[in-house]
Chains A and B, each alone.
Chain A
Amino acid sequence: MYDVIVIGAGVTGAAIARELSRYEYAGKTAVLERASDICEGTSKANSGIVHAGHDAEPGTLKARLNVLGNRKMEQLSRELDFSFKKNGTLVLCFDEKDRDKLRRLLEKGQQNGVEGLRIIEVQELRAMEPNISDEAVAALYAPAGGIVCPFGLTIALAENACENGVEFHLNTEVLQIERTQEGYLLKTSKGVFESRIVVNAAGLYADALHNMVSERKLNIIPRKGEYCLFDKSAGSYVSHTIFQLPTRYGKGVLVTPTVHGNLMMGPTAVDIEDKEGTNTTGEGLGDLLKRGGLSIQRVPEEKVITSFAGLRAHESSGDFVIGEVEGAPGFIDVAGIESPGLTCAPAIGEYVAEIVQELLPVPKKADFKVHRQGIRAMADADEGERKELIAKNPAYANIICRCELVTEGEIMDAIHRPLGATTLDGVKRRTRAGMGRCQSGFCAPKTVEILARELGTDVGEITKSGGESRFLTGYDKEDIGSA
């Protein structure tokens, strides 16, 4: 019997797990994840923006948790050692007639408690962003806005929760939920779990789980967002995150530097039916480059290194759905976590932990480990640190990913740390091996070999991201029939 089970190891589930791990539960706590790794759903494919908080309607959960989450992010990035930068955001206004809208956005932000907001005129805007579009007439400047590595944040939260005693069960899909006298029985692809309290942080599938225990149905719509990522040589084209006021072209696409120094453009917003429909489309990518291009002088299209799509979990009500489900005591929904969900995650974690405390009050742990050490990246290290790392493990002198300067030492660390990588994508998200301009052309075979060696298996068993995503299908000539 578990005290608390969280379903879903995305950023929301990981943040909740970390907050729960501060407490001294008598029983066990666990996270169940259907994918082969943490951070495999919406958390891996989003804008990576720490929103200032001027978008959400005042009074909503989104508004409150956004501002709270934004304020927590810097401190959290120091505790958990992930990449975060407060680069500031700009919302561009392209038409004098739209100044009202800009002012309303300012007021909304002020109501929500966003600090430092102000409207800037075109001269100051140009000084801040020399490559901004000539069409821009003014902008809302939010110095509190920032950028974060979404994998870095999610993985750091999960690792820290794991180190503080939360069990993680991967490849474990919840198929059925039954209410029992003491709590809930979760039938999964990996056996049965029983827990007093269940936290439903299942992202796109939170409605399906909710609907197993409640008559009042939730409906999560996958809203697709496509992105283009540009080479680091275009990374300083803008320095702030650039939004657009809604224009006649619809809701704008953002242009932003990433914490790792790339340039990114996205997302589109199209409601679809398939919750696994993370494919990019010709129309989507074309539309994206056209609309993103409105914000800047020129889109460096020749510098695109990859494109991807993510699905936001949009709930029909429009706000986050967080709280104990009516008629299902001990079953807590954390659903509809779309933008600004990444920003909110640290605040959602605390909020949900408080709800759990009300249901099952226990004291805090005396020995909670606040800090988590990330993987030391050779690319960011100075000469002294590099020499030190190599002295400790010569594998740090063996570069595997040439584009991002990732060494064998880092990949070994990524595999052997808590909740370590078991797939190529897992290594990529933890170390950036394969995220550079050649997109793993050279390093994939080497990384696969290291994975197989360190996990004690054959390279033929290594997958890109679990399931049937194996790299190799067999041996040379084995399919040639004997004459």
Chain B
Amino acid sequence: MDKKADILIVGGGPAGLAAAVAARKDGIENVLVLERDEELGGILNQCIHNGFGLHTFKEELTGPEYAQRYISQAEALGIPCLLHTIVVDISAEKDKKLVTAMNKKDGLFTIEAKAVVLAMGCRERSRGALNIPGYRPAGIYSAGTAQHYVNIEGRMPGKEVVILGSGDIGLIMARRMTLEGAKVKLVAELMPYSGGLKRNIVQCLEDYNIPLKLSHTVIHIDGKERVKGVTVAEVDNNRKPIPGTEEYISCDTLLLSCGLIPENELSAGLGVALNPVTAGPVVNESLETSVEGVFACGNVLHVHDLVDHVSEESYAAGEHAAAYVKEKRSVRAETVAIKCEGGVRYTVPSLLRVEYMEKEQVVRFRVGNVYRNVFLTVYFNDKIVIKQKKRVLLPGEMEQIKLKKSELEKFSDLKSITISIEEE
């Protein structure tokens, strides 16, 4: 099976589906979604808790319900999706992209596409990457793997649990494991602040009396066959364990919720430039990567807190991909870089072509520390154009700011845009 597509979308999770729906609604007939799992919806399928969709649908949905809204739209629009299909390689020639994929039914095949939308999502940081010393027994899971077992398979990965990392999935799993009959003894967080949303700390830990210890980490894993316990210690300002603060906690399970990493192996193979801070592609206002006609959205681009933002961003990526296919935006317009200063870690997009931007451009970013009572300032060249008072900025919560095209057009020689956090 060798075929053609106008827009090929890699990934049928919330990002890929929103991009597909947008592209089709913008009049692109031949949109094709490739999904590696046996069903659409991505990681939402195992997120059976509620709280999704408050922004998008103004109601509170579970993950599968939220996914179904987009799956139904894609079905209604007749967008073809190949399931259980994994992309093994993407290459780009001048006007076309060649996507090599395989599945059990069609074997190994190549699809020629005019544009590609990367929507592969992210993966969890592993025990190995955290380099936690100790034995290597069974009973150490990423929070997402545990979530899969409990919510999809109905099986318990353990009975007495310690969770390292206070990312949202870890917090959600602390509650889920408790509801399913396990004892969650502790959530330990290396940083002096949580990596998760405030509402999850309240609803998943505090409501169930699960202790959260900030500035703590696991320094040893005990148990030769199955986990028997972990040693937790307090860390200093350099995140080094403080001798004398060690505490042994018996448990049979260690869950890890220590950050997500965009899964960009395919992008790197294609030659897409990656931002070392986000580990996702560098994109412009159209969410187009450094490879012309290749767009990125969702968690493969940068890790989001809310699926609503993923959908919004991905819908825009789908529209931009459609515009690319229709208009052939091959002429490289004047590009301005968005710089980060004073604790802003990154922005998406990080490049802007004023000519192609919408009336209003959403720029999403994260900060590297906890900031209170500061000003979020935007400079065009060295002139302040936006100055917003911010009561609190948290590393665990993505921020956004809107730039107006009309404002930008006033600057005839715009060289740079700078987003900065400033004291009074």
Query: Which A residues fall within an 8 A CB radius of B?
Result: 228-229, 276, 278-282, 284-285, 304-308, 383, 386-387, 390-391, 394-395, 397-399, 402-403, 405, 437-442, 444-445, 459-460, 463-480
Cβ A470 vs Cβ B138 within 8 A:
yes
Q: Closest residue of chain B to A283, judged by CB?
A: B133
Q: Closest residue of chain B to A393, judged by CB?
A: B104
Q: Which residues of A contact B102 (CB under 8 A)?
A: 386, 390, 397, 399
Give Cα A469 to B225, complex, Å: 5
Known: A276-B224, A399-B86, A471-B157. A304 touches B107 (CB 8 A): no
Cβ B107 vs Cβ A465 within 8 A:
no
Cβ B156 vs Cβ A468 within 8 A:
no
Cβ A386 vs Cβ B124 within 8 A:
no
Within residues 169 to 210 of chain B, which ones have a CB less than 8 A from any CB in chain A? 180-182
Cβ B155 vs Cβ A475 within 8 A:
yes
B341 to chain A, nearest CB (A): 23
Check if B372 is an interface residue, CB within 8 A of chain A: no
The stretch from B59-67, B140-148, B290-298, B361-369 touching chain A is B140-148
Using an 8 Å CB-CB cutoff, how does the interface string of B212-228 with A read, 1 for contact, 0 for none? 00000001110011100
Check if B127 is an interface residue, CB within 8 A of chain A: yes
Cβ A468 vs Cβ B225 within 8 A:
yes
Cβ B159 vs Cβ A304 within 8 A:
no
Q: What number of residue pairs across chains A and B have CB atoms under 8 A from each other?
A: 146
Q: Which residues of A contact B127 (CB under 8 A)?
A: 306, 439
Cβ B156 vs Cβ A387 within 8 A:
no
Q: Which residues of A contact B156 (CB under 8 A)?
A: 472-476, 478-479
Using an 8 Å CB-CB cutoff, how does the interface string of B318-346 with A read, 1 for contact, 0 for none? 00000000000000000000000000000
Q: Which residues of B contact A444 (CB under 8 A)?
A: 145
Cβ A472 vs Cβ B241 within 8 A:
no
Contact of B107 among A229, A281, A391, A439 (CB under 8 A): A391
Cβ B108 vs Cβ A397 within 8 A:
yes
Give Cα A228 to B130, complex, Å: 12
Using an 8 Å CB-CB cutoff, how does the interface string of B89-108 with A read, 1 for contact, 0 for none? 00000000000001111111
Give Cα A440 to B136, complex, Å: 13
Q: Which residues of A contact B241 (CB under 8 A)?
A: 282
Cβ A305 vs Cβ B128 within 8 A:
yes
Cβ B155 vs Cβ A472 within 8 A:
yes
How many residues on B have C-beta within 8 angstroms of the other chain's C-beta atoms?
51
Known: A460-B155, A474-B156, A479-B159. A387 touches B108 (CB 8 A): yes
Cβ B105 vs Cβ A285 within 8 A:
no
Give Cα A438 to B258, complex, Å: 13
Using an 8 Å CB-CB cutoff, how does the interface string of B150-171 with A read, 1 for contact, 0 for none? 1001111111000000000000
Give Cα A282 to B217, complex, Å: 12
Cβ B138 vs Cβ A471 within 8 A:
yes
Contact of B155 among A228, A282, A439, A474 (CB under 8 A): A474
Give Cα A282 to B157, complex, Å: 27
B91 to chain A, nearest CB (A): 13
Q: Which residues of B contact A478 (CB under 8 A)?
A: 156, 181
Give Cα A344 to B48, complex, Å: 55
Give Cα A129 to B182, complex, Å: 53
Cβ A473 vs Cβ B252 within 8 A:
yes
Cβ B105 vs Cβ A279 within 8 A:
no
Cβ A473 vs Cβ B157 within 8 A:
yes
Cβ B137 vs Cβ A469 within 8 A:
yes
B316 to chain A, nearest CB (A): 27
Q: Closest residue of chain A to B263, judged by CB?
A: A402
Within residues 65 to 99 of chain B, which ones have a CB less than 8 A from any CB in chain A? 84, 86, 88
Using an 8 Å CB-CB cutoff, how does the interface string of B381-417 with A read, 1 for contact, 0 for none? 0000000000000000000000000000000000000
Cβ B159 vs Cβ A474 within 8 A:
yes
